[in-house]
Amino acid sequence: MDLEICEALVRARAEDRPVVLATIVATRGSVPRHAGSRMVIDAEGGLLGTIGGGCGEADVIEAAREVLASRQPRLVRVELLDAIDSWSPAVCGGTMDVFVEPVP
């Protein structure tokens, strides 16, 4: 795990601040980041790390808010499969499964 991510988790625990850890656990096709990439998200929307940015990361941040509220982990499928004729930068052509878990 990235040292910066580990330090952020330790700091959050020391400050008794709830955070979630989002980890890409599987990918298919072309994606901006690969399995093992991580991101820490706190209740105020603070971030450290990335799982690729854009709309997919926004979906994971929204899921993180739900995980913070429920304290229940979840798996989020991020699809980067817009119409092939779209010029959106979100069109990578792949999918990522991201595990979003509360950090005790």
Show the tokens assigned to 62.
């929204």
**In this predicted structure, what is the pLDDT of residue 55?**
82
Identify residue 93 by its one-letter amino acid code.
Answer: G
**Domain boundaries, position 27:** 3-103
**In this predicted structure, what is the pLDDT of residue 85?**
54
**In this predicted structure, what is the pLDDT of residue 1?**
63
Helix (H) or strand (E) holding 61: helix 54-70
Count of structural domains, the chain: 1
- Cα angle at 46 between 42 and 47, to 5 degrees? 95
**In this predicted structure, what is the pLDDT of residue 17?**
92
Q: What is the pLDDT tens value at each position of the chain, 104 positions in all? A: 689 999 999 999 999 999 999 999 999 998 889 999 999 999 887 889 999 888 888 999 999 999 999 999 999 999 887 655 555 554 567 899 999 999 98
Q: Phi and psi dihedrals of 89, rounded to 5? A: -70, -10
